[in-house]
């Protein structure tokens, strides 16, 4: 089973002001520093918060200590729990004392400090499975996942159909499963693509990007950043350019807009002929003798360039 691990880096601008948290406030406690954070201070929307509360496990970044929490901590402060940043009762506190506390809080908050820029990574692992129908292959698949612990898993050539349930592939309490099985016909068994996204990430199937090729897209919501679109694509090793044209259509739906998206496309493109180093004429060269026609290679290069895509892997993973 061939696989590759990709690390995607994204930046978040954060302005954080520490404020006291009351018992009835919607808040989350950091597992590392035990600090209670208002959802607004943590950059968590009400929709995200409600979604988090329905999950047994979720992840979020503490703005106080920058720790990534993978937590099942409740979003409510217990009545008998006294936190270092919780409100004190207001009775028996003089106006002078209140004014003093406010001034001290503003001074500690450093509200005039410039925004900080934090960098985080999302790990994406892509597999060419050459079938997940056997228990042995599924065991190998899950072992690789457990070893590398990527956030997102893409798989090609799954060879799955509707007789195979999601639960037979992976623990569906931990992963959201998105797949596009090949519609089988005589002589066309196989293929299929699969996306797994950890449930502590907010993900959706992006069906508006689906076209008549073996491709599956997800939209990943990232706090403080543009959404990340991740796609998995498989192309049959032949000279039929229809699949490449459908891929181009899918990419165009994202890239031909006012704001270019954050986009990562993985898969098995079966394009070993292309030399990914640009020549003196600023063009990619095609090896000779080549496995596929010049039209096929040129169509693929054209699709990437038209949609502002950059090839990350610049060598073949297996001998051809």
- Per residue in 177-216, pLDDT (tens digit) is 999 999 766 655 689 999 999 999 999 999 999 999 999 9
Contact 152, 220 (CB under 8 A): yes
* In a shared domain, residues 94 and 135: no
Instruction: Answer whether residue 74 is part of any domain.
Output: yes
Query: Which residue reads 């796609």 in tokens?
Result: 231
d(CA 104, CA 93): 16
Instruction: Answer whether residue 171 is part of any domain.
Output: yes
Instruction: Answer whether residue 115 is part of any domain.
Output: no
Instruction: Answer whether residue 13 is part of any domain.
Output: no
- Output the pLDDT for position 90: 39
* CA atoms in the 13 A half-sphere facing the CB of 69: 25
* In a shared domain, residues 234 and 105: no
* In a shared domain, residues 80 and 199: no
- Which stretches does DSSP call E strand in 149-201? 152-156, 175-180, 193-198
- Output the pLDDT for position 84: 45
Q: What is the mean pLDDT of the chain?
A: 77
Note down the domain range covering 262.
Answer: 120-306
Q: Within 10 A of 285 (CB to CB), how many other CB atoms are there?
A: 14
* In a shared domain, residues 27 and 85: yes
The answer on pLDDT for 123 being more than 50 is: yes
* In a shared domain, residues 162 and 259: yes
Instruction: Answer whether residue 203 is part of any domain.
Output: yes
Q: Both tokens of residue 9?
A: 């880096």
Instruction: Answer whether residue 209 is part of any domain.
Output: yes
Tens digits of residue pLDDT in 287-300: 888 899 999 999 99
Query: Which residue reads 């050539």 in tokens?
Result: 157
Instruction: Answer whether residue 256 is part of any domain.
Output: yes
- Structural domains of the chain, count: 2
* In a shared domain, residues 229 and 301: yes
Out of 83, 110, 137, a domain closes at: 110
Out of 56, 90, 110, a domain closes at: 110
Q: Give the CATH number of the domain where residue 173 resides.
A: 3.60.10.10
* In a shared domain, residues 99 and 139: no
* In a shared domain, residues 130 and 78: no
The answer on pLDDT for 165 being more than 90 is: yes
The answer on pLDDT for 112 being more than 60 is: no
Query: Which residue reads 């065991």 in tokens?
Result: 139
Out of 32-36, 77-81, 234-238, 256-260, pick the least confident. Answer: 77-81
- Output the pLDDT for position 164: 93
Q: Say if strands 262-268 and 274-275 run parallel, antiparallel, or are unpaired.
A: unpaired
Question: 196 pairs with which residues across the strands?
Answer: 153, 177
Contact 107, 133 (CB under 8 A): no
d(CA 31, CA 29): 6
Instruction: Answer whether residue 214 is part of any domain.
Output: yes
219 pLDDT band, cuts 50/70/90, is: very high
Out of 110, 131, 165, a domain closes at: 110
Q: Both tokens of residue 244?
A: 């490449």
Is the sign of the CA dihedral 233, 239, 242, 244 positive or negative? positive
Residue 312, classified by CB atoms within 10 Å of its CB into exposed (0-12), middle (13-18) or buried (19+), is exposed
* In a shared domain, residues 162 and 255: yes
Calculate mean pLDDT across residues 73-96: 42
* In a shared domain, residues 157 and 264: yes
29 pLDDT band, cuts 50/70/90, is: confident
First to last CA, the chain: 16
* In a shared domain, residues 25 and 83: yes
* In a shared domain, residues 125 and 169: yes
């Amino acid at each position: 089973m061939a696989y590759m691990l990709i690390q995607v880096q994204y930046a978040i601008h954060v302005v954080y002001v520490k404020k006291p948290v009351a018992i009835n406030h919607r808040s989350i406690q950091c597992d590392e520093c035990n600090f209670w954070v208002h959802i607004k201070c943590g950059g968590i929307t009400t929709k995200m918060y409600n979604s988090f509360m329905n999950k047994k496990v979720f992840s979020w970044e503490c703005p106080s200590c920058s720790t990534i929490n993978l937590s099942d901590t409740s979003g409510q402060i217990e009545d008998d729990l006294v936190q270092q940043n919780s409100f004190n009762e207001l009775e028996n506190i003089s106006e002078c004392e209140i004014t003093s506390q406010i001034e001290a809080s503003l001074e500690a908050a450093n509200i005039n400090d410039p925004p900080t820029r934090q960098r985080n990574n999302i790990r994406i692992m892509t597999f060419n499975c050459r079938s997940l129908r056997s228990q042995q292959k599924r065991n190998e698949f899950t072992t690789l996942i457990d070893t590398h612990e990527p956030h997102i898993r893409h798989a090609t050539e799954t060879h799955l159909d509707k007789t195979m349930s999601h639960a037979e592939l992976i623990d569906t309490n931990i992963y959201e499963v998105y797949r596009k099985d090949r519609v089988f016909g005589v002589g066309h068994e196989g293929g299929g693509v699969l996306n797994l996204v950890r449930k502590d990430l907010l993900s959706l199937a992006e069906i508006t990007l689906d076209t008549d090729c073996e491709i599956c897209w997800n939209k990943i919501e990232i706090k403080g950043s543009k959404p990340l679109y991740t796609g998995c694509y498989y192309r049959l090793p032949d000279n039929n350019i229809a699949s490449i044209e459908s891929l181009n259509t899918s990419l165009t739906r994202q890239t031909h807009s006012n704001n270019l998206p954050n986009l990562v496309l993985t898969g098995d493109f079966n394009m070993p002929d292309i030399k990914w180093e640009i020549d003196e004429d600023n063009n990619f060269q095609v090896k000779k003798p080549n496995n596929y026609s010049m039209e096929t290679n040129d169509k693929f290069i054209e699709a990437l360039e038209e949609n502002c895509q950059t090839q990350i892997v610049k060598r073949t993973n297996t001998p051809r």
